[in-house]
Amino acid sequence: MATDACEFFAMQWLWTWGGECFGYREGDDLWTYTGKHVGCFHGDEVYAPSGWYLGEIKQGNRLVVDRSKYGQLKARFTRSLDRLSCPRCQDNPALKLYLSHKDFPSPDMF
């Protein structure tokens, strides 16, 4: 019997600062709800396959970009193959942005 990918993997659902359901963190990987592997975490900071800083988690489950960290670079990585889509969680209310921060991109941007 096939197991639904959304039930099989232990994941932490994440939203953008603006409240849009982005996807989930599984271990050190960031996935869109559509199943695209878009980032790798180093602590709470997430980096693109190219190694460039994408953003970070704040307030437990919100993705945000700290503009002062643009230009940070970690080791490159190879994206994993796409997965099955998961049902998208409901959006949440937007939060007020911190000074020098901007909202994390929509999952549709990846």
pLDDT given at position 34: 96
Token pair in block for residue 20: 């849009």
Do residues 45 and 69 lie in contact, with contact meaning Cβ atoms separated by under 8 Å? yes
pLDDT given at position 58: 96
Domain map (residue ranges) of the chain = 5-105
CA 2 – CA 63 distance, rounded (Å): 31
Give the residue ranges of DSSP H helices in 1-110: 5-8
What are the pLDDT tens digits along the chain (110 aa)?
334 444 445 789 999 999 999 999 999 999 999 999 999 999 999 999 999 999 999 999 999 999 999 999 999 999 999 999 989 999 999 999 999 999 999 999 99
Q: What is the model's pTM?
A: 0.88
pLDDT given at position 11: 86
Beta strand pairing call for 62-66 and 101-103 = antiparallel
pLDDT given at position 9: 56
Q: Token match 């849009």: residue? A: 20
Among residues 29, 38, 35, the alpha carbon closest in space to that of 104 is found at: 38
pLDDT given at position 86: 87
pLDDT given at position 10: 78
